[in-house]
Amino acid sequence: MRQWWLLAWTIACFGMGLLTGVLRLSHWPHAAEIGVAIVLAAVVLLAFGWWSDIRRQRRLQRWRERRLKIVCIGGGTGLSTILRGLKEYDVDLTAVVTVADDGGSSGRLRHDFAMPPPGDIRNCLVALADTEPLLERLLQFRFPAGEGLEGHSFGNLFLAAMTHIMGDFESAIRETSRVLAVRGKVLPAVREDVRLRAYLEDGRVVEGESRIPEAGGRIERLELVPAHLEPLPDVIAAIESADAIVVGPGSLYTSVLPNLLVPGIAEAIASSRACKIYICNVMTQRGETDDLSASSHVRVIYRHVGRRLFDYVLVNAAPLPEEALRRYQEQQSYPVRVDMEELHKLGLKVIARDFIHYATYARHDSRKVAEQIVSLLGYERDTKHATR
């Protein structure tokens, strides 16, 4: 824009020079008349530039005022943690949740009522709910005993009852979201009954989300059963209109990949113009990501989906307390090694800082991660539109 104004003022000065006689050009017999025409042309150019600049500023202001649309993809406690932080900002949130869980309360309800597993969905609904603390405790309450009730959470049973009343799982989620005043949308990745099948390097084939980490072998390849699945149209629509797509944190093979392996989802992410962010796990997970570095996590995803997906990767750069490291070592879990050079080779912009909150276990700090994502989006948004 500065170049535009400079050009217009240069033309105006040239015209004024001809008009006032400061520039004496003997081969221009009508220099004054030409000067008037040039000055008028410069005025028109200046007016047009001023008008264009005002329009551009108004467009940028409207863009800044529009609510950011963020799609978070994953499962387990990792996804709900990120949602808790992001819901504190004035953003339009959509959570895309894996429905491959077959263990615990979710697995039992899945088997008994032929419904998708509600556990991860419940966690996300609670994370986004604008409810009293007592209601949140009620939904997360797990029955310690009782015939047929032991191990079930009240929230899972509530979703099972809503599915029976409403007739389908999607409607149950939608109505539960309304009851809980959920800030955003929670969507299952698929409608169909989905199972995970893992092919291990030693030749074994393990089926079932709960059995894969217990198999005790390195995973060579993961697939969904059945293979021919249809993603929810609302999921694809949310990805296509997103300003940001956040994948992870969460168990690489049993929370993150089950979403990305649904036909159409990885393709929609790859073709989206959104800012695409991968949040790498803090610790390795026994039976899934033993010895995997941060770049290895990304390479596993790229190998399975057959394409590059991410622009940024968020990695933890803070050390864990010695007490925490000893507790994790007893479980054969270790901090994920951040190999910066390899991450850069993958074309990723790396954001490394203290992202953890440590109590009994090291978890991502929902506030720090959300702050980083929103800050990053503000930078990306202004950069893209300042050049238009």
Cβ neighbours of 182 (radius 10 Å): 24
Closest to 222 in 3D by CA, of 301, 282, 291, 279: 301
Mean pLDDT of 135-158: 86
SS3 88: coil
- Of 310 and 54, the one with more pLDDT: 310
d(C-alpha 177, C-alpha 84), whole Å: 15
CB 281 within 8 A of CB 337: no
**What is the model's pLDDT at position 193?**
86
d(C-alpha 351, C-alpha 312), whole Å: 7
Query: pLDDT tens digits for 82-106?
Result: 999 999 998 999 999 999 999 888 8
68-98+189-386 homologous superfamily: CofD-like domains (3.40.50.10680)
Mean pLDDT of 140-154: 86
Q: Lowest-confidence range among 47-61, 311-325, 326-340?
A: 47-61
Residue 115, token pair as written in the block: 């419904």
d(C-alpha 129, C-alpha 314), whole Å: 26
Mean pLDDT of 295-303: 98
Closest to 233 in 3D by CA, of 345, 342, 118, 96: 96
Residue 241, token pair as written in the block: 């209109």
**What is the model's pLDDT at position 386?**
45
**What is the model's pLDDT at position 2?**
45
d(C-alpha 280, C-alpha 19), whole Å: 67
Task: Tell me the pLDDT band of 1, cut-offs 50, 70 and 90.
Answer: very low
Triad 76, 153, 225: Cα angle to 5°: 45
| Domain ranges for the chain | 2-64, 68-98+189-386
